[in-house]
Structure 1
Amino acid sequence: MKILILLVLASGCTQKYADYDLIRKVDFNKESYERPVPATQVMAQGKDELKECFNQWLFFSNAQKQKEQRTPEFVRALCPGKDYLVNANFTETWWTTLIFTQACIDIQTLCGETRKQNQN
């Protein structure tokens, strides 16, 4: 029973949310995000979602660092064939105990289709 109480007291959990109204996939950087200004209008068409978790036992890896490094890769993998993501919602979850840590990211987005310009 003492071990269970110790584990509860020695654990932590956090959840972070971020919303981006428009992401150009090839340029996305979460730390220095600037909203792109596309030359043509971008319309939402279809949706996509990705959820990935990284595990860490003791100090043999860094789950949070792995998640941060792979996030741009995940963004590029969403909505194949599209250059933009519209109304992307990021939910990052991190929890830890004395011996185990898990860092997860869940991205839900609409796919951005660029509108063709009329040639007159």
Structure 2
Amino acid sequence: MKKVVLIEDSKVLAHALIGALKVEGIEAHWAENGVSGVQLAKQLKPDLVLLDLMLPKLSGFDVCKLLKTDDGTWRIPVVIMSTLSDPQSRDRATDAGADYFIPKPYDLASTLAEIKKILKI
């Protein structure tokens, strides 16, 4: 079973996406701030990290940089899911090491299809 860590401060979005991932047979774990998200990703070594940019305690940009510069997590693909979809934010996310970018609000069905494609399932 593929494993995903979702780092998202919106409980409503997190629960909806986690529920949809589980229906697809994907093990999903949630952290609601950047600090706990980094810890969870380092602990679980998931197949994919889904990351919001606007987070409490540590921004998504900083979370991405930390994961992409850590020996244990640098290979994990990071998908940014954010309302910050302007070119400057996308460039900052890419510079931080993000592999993919999905702008919010997102269509759940197409987002799940993209996640499954990234996970190769």
Question: TM-score if structure 2 supplies the norm length?
Answer: 0.21
- Greater radius of gyration (CA): 1
> Which structure dedicates a bigger proportion of its chain to helix?
2
Question: TM-score if structure 1 supplies the norm length?
Answer: 0.21
> Which structure dedicates a bigger proportion of its chain to strand?
1
